[in-house]
Each structure stands twice: as C-alpha cells, then as structure tokens.
A and B are shown apart, each in its own frame.
Chain A
Amino acid sequence: MEISVAGVSCRIGEVEILKDINFRLESGSFAAIVGPNGAGKSTLIKIMLGLLKPDGAEAKILYDGVDVAEVNKSRHWLGYVPQNYAFDRSVPITLDEFFKITCRAEDGDKYNSVLESLNLFKLKKHIMGGLSGGEIQRALIAYNLFHDKRVLFLDEPTSAIDIEGEALVYSILNNLNKERKINIIIISHDIDAVLKNVDTVVCLNKTIHCMGGACEILEGSMIQKFFEGHRGLYQHGGCHHR
C-alpha cells in the first residue's frame, strides 16, 4: 500500500511538534522513523493513524490515494502497536479470551497458526497481566493480524524486551513484510536493528531532515550530524543489508 504524507504540521499550544512533513513510502516497504527524543515521531505516527488531527485543512495522509479519515471509517487497514501498552494488569483475562473478546477470533486453523507463528500458542491460557513485555508485544502483533491489517505501525517495538525477544520480534516483522506484504513502519532508537531490518529510513526532528535507503542514510556522515548533541541513539555495528 503506497503511503503519502503531505503538508502535515502539528502545534500543541505554543509548542511546534511537527512542521510541514512531506514524504512517500512505497507499497510493501519496511520503514523506520528515527530521530532524537522530542522529535515528534510518536505524534507523526498517531497522525498517520488518524488518532490525532494535523493542523490546517491542506494536510493529507493518503493510503493508496484514500484519505486516512475514510480508511478508519470503513476499512480498518491500519494497525498499531504502542510503545507502552497501558492496560490494567490486574484484570483477570487470558490471552485466548483477549483475542476472542477484542478480535472476535474463533478457534480454528487460522487462529492457531497465527498464535504458533508468534510463539504464543502455549501462552493461550495464561493471564495477560502475567506476560512479559516481549510477549505483550507479540500479542499485540497477533491482535493486528487477526484484524487483517495492511499497514502496521510499531512505536519502539523492542524497547521493553531482551535481545532474544528483540530478534524474535524483528524476524516476525520481516516475515509479515515479506510473506504477507504488510507495510511496516517502526519508530526506533536502535540504529543497528534498523540497519539490519528496514529498507527505508526517515530522519525526523520536527521536520524531515533526510530520507532514503537504510544503509545510505545510516552509514553516512548524515546520521552523525543529524543526531549531533542528542542522546538516545544506539549504534552497535555496520550495515547488514536485508
């Protein structure tokens, strides 16, 4: 699904969060939005999801030419995995019940194969509140798969999980992107993970500073300059092209 963001600005009170954001992502892309803390990354994806309204009537967010307001009204293509999934961990609800209540999922081959593919099958009868950060992330990905989402946004998908869990989440995302042709857009501070996994990088700090292929953007001096003076960037190794 081709995604086009045009003329998006956002101001909260006197504070400018985003200024004239314009970019286009190709159908089937796996993109990362990178930028320092306070760059407006989470706000941008909430606007792209239609959860927040941008300033001005000229702003447009189109999915294959269809406006986000229309997408949300009739066809729920847009999936979202928040950074911190705020839910009351004391509510006694099993993973199985969560999917059946929230997705109206029914037992069957499709249901079980989604759970198997996300290593969740054996956790079906576990209480949601007892799951780890990585298991919750995978449960939310499953939630989006049961809803047949075509674009999946993930805000810092691996921030609350260990290295093993991180590798599993990225392998699942790569699989969804390649096999199911789901557009994936992540926010990440982990440059190494971005280099290994995504094909497009958008550098954001209130406005778009640079955009292009992952290696091209992240290996060059551009990224160092972009993050200069900012904290919160994790870089481990070199470019491992997908």
Chain B
Amino acid sequence: MIEILLMPFALKALFASALISVICAWSGIFVTIKNMAFFSESISHSSLAGIAIALWFGFDPSVFLVFFSVAVAAVIALVAQSSIASRDSVIGIVHATIMSAGIILLSFLRGGNTDIARYLFGDVLAVTSTDLYICSALFVLAAAYLAKFSTTHALTCLTPELAKLNGINVKKYDFMLMILLALIISVSVKIAGAILVTALLVIPSNAAKNISASYNSFVLLSVITGLTGAVAGVAASIFLDFPTGPSIVLLNSIAYFASLFARNYLKISI
C-alpha cells in the first residue's frame, strides 16, 4: 500500500505540499504577530478574479495568478497609505471590489468551471511538473528572503516605533511582507485552494504559539506543524480518497486544538 506514495503523482504532491507548507508556516509567524489573517484571506479570495481574467484571456492561471496577487497586494498597500480608513477597512473594500469584478467575469465564462473548482478547493494530486518548478522557485526565493530579512521583519512587527527610530523604513518592510505573502498565497492556492490557503499561514504558527517558550521554538514548531500536516494530509488523502487541501488543513487544525489543550490543561511549554 505504501508503494502508492512512491508513484510519480504522489511524490509530486508530497514534494509540492511540503515546500508550500514549510514556507507558509515560516512566513505565517509574521501573519500571526501582525494580525494579517484578513489580508491573507483577501489575497487568496481575490485570486478567483485573477483566475477568471486568466481564463478569459487564455493565460496560464498558475503563472498569471502570481502577478495578479502581487498587484492586488500593491493596490491594498497603496490605498491604505493614501487613505484615512483603517487597513482592515481598505482590505475589505479592495477585496469586495475585486471579488465582485471576478464574479461578474466568471458569469460570462462558459466551460471554465473545472478550473475554477480546482483553484477554489485545491488539487495537489493534479500538480504538474510546471507547478512543481513554480513551487520550488517560490520556496528558494521566499526562504532566501526570510533567512536574510526575518530578523528585520521581527523587529518591525514587534516594535515598529523603535524600529523607525533606528532608521529602519517600517513602511517599506511592511510593503515587502505584503508582497511576499501575496507571492506565497498565489502559488499555494493550487495546493489548498483559495478558500483554505489562509489556514496554511495561520494555523501552524498559532498552534506553535500556544506551546512555545521562546521565539526560536515558535518558528521551529510552526514549520514542523506545517510540514507534518502536509505530508500526513497528502498521505491521508491518497489512502482515504479525501480531498487533499482540506485533509492538510484539518490535520493542522487538529494540531492547533491539541496545542490549545496542551497549553491550558497540561501546561506544556517547549
């Protein structure tokens, strides 16, 4: 039975999920500290409009989505900087605008529903070699960026006022974080689906936060949770014939509630 996991489609799915989940769990640390779950949610939901545009014009949705998501993040950042509304309100406005345009566009599309459903719910078992290259490129790029700038982001997220006094351009780093998250989300949509992709960013880091006694264990436990959820989720979906994205997310959710129990009742702190 284990041989099925060694088949090319399963190996591709495992590899892609592992890469995406690790990078989501790592960057999810900043989503958690900066309360950016709504931003992540809006980028992932807006991707449906991106897919509609790609299908309308005949572009490759996977590739087009990367550019589209980065553009949406940039629009949110620019509108937030030039508006007196709170960032949450701006995200809500931009998100609703893009979603509405996307839904109108989708209503004109005929025969594109299979692709839409794939992006809505995720379909990691149908990952192609091109998708795998995109995932690998994202992993290398995002991991290199996080390795170089994660301390600066930690500083700007934890103490923005003090960071500013030390000559750090907090707005620039906030913008860079939004762009990074948009890139990660745009590639992850194919794995977990637009509806669930925020879960990959938010759940592992919050599960880790529950039982971490230091920042180092916060980061490490988040990555371990994300990776375990991905591998076990893909395996479970193959063996039990469950949809893959929801399987990964549900396993992460189990880890979250287990860590909550461990924190509140077992007083575990690592």
Report whether B209 and A72 are in contact in the complex, using a CB–CB cutoff of 8 Å: no
Report whether A101 and B166 are in contact in the complex, using a CB–CB cutoff of 8 Å: no
Instruction: Give the chain A neighbours of B167 by CB distance below 8 A.
Output: 72-74, 76
Q: Is the interface of B mostly helix, strand, loop or mixed?
A: helix
Bound: A93/B219 CA distance, A? 11
B161-208: which residues lie under 8 A (CB-CB) from chain A? 161-167
Instruction: Give the chain A neighbours of B209 by CB distance below 8 A.
Output: 90-92
Report whether A92 and B212 are in contact in the complex, using a CB–CB cutoff of 8 Å: yes
B268 → chain A closest CB, angstroms: 13
B128-166: which residues lie under 8 A (CB-CB) from chain A? 151, 154-155, 158-159, 161-166
Interface 1/0 per residue, A19-58 and B, CB below 8 Å: 0000000000000000000000000000001110000000
Closest chain B residue, CB of each to CB of A86: B161
Report whether B161 and A101 are in contact in the complex, using a CB–CB cutoff of 8 Å: no
Asked if B213 lies at the interface with its beta carbon under 8 angstroms from chain A, I say yes
Bound: A29/B212 CA distance, A? 43
Interface 1/0 per residue, A136-178 and B, CB below 8 Å: 0000100100010000000000000000000000000000000
Count of A interface residues, CB-CB < 8 Å: 29
Bound: A158/B166 CA distance, A? 24
Known: A97-B216, A127-B213. A49 touches B159 (CB 8 A): no
Instruction: Give the chain A neighbours of B212 by CB distance below 8 A.
Output: 92
A132 → chain B closest CB, angstroms: 18
A51-95: which residues lie under 8 A (CB-CB) from chain B? 51, 72-74, 76, 78-80, 82, 85, 87-88, 90-94
Bound: A93/B191 CA distance, A? 31
Report whether A80 and B218 are in contact in the complex, using a CB–CB cutoff of 8 Å: no
Instruction: Give the chain B neighbours of A79 by CB distance below 8 A.
Output: 165
Closest chain A residue, CB of each to CB of B154: A101
Asked if B33 lies at the interface with its beta carbon under 8 angstroms from chain A, I say yes
Report whether B158 and A98 are in contact in the complex, using a CB–CB cutoff of 8 Å: yes
Closest chain A residue, CB of each to CB of B166: A76
Report whether B217 and A92 are in contact in the complex, using a CB–CB cutoff of 8 Å: yes
A90-139: which residues lie under 8 A (CB-CB) from chain B? 90-94, 97-98, 101-102, 104, 125, 127
Q: What are 17 A-to-B residue pairs whose CB atoms are below 8 Å?
A: A51-B161, A82-B161, A85-B159, A88-B158, A90-B209, A91-B33, A91-B209, A93-B158, A94-B215, A101-B154, A101-B155, A101-B158, A102-B155, A102-B163, A104-B151, A127-B214, A147-B166
In addition to A76-B165, A88-B33, A91-B33, 11 A-B residue pairs with Cβ atoms within 8 Å of each other are A50-B165, A51-B161, A80-B162, A80-B165, A90-B209, A91-B158, A92-B214, A93-B158, A101-B155, A102-B154, A127-B214
Residues of A within 8 A of B (CB): 49-51, 72-74, 76, 78-80, 82, 85, 87-88, 90-94, 97-98, 101-102, 104, 125, 127, 140, 143, 147
Residues of B within 8 A of A (CB): 33, 151, 154-155, 158-159, 161-167, 209, 212-218
The 8 closest A-B pairs by CB, nearest first: A92-B212, A93-B215, A97-B215, A92-B218, A101-B154, A102-B155, A94-B214, A76-B166
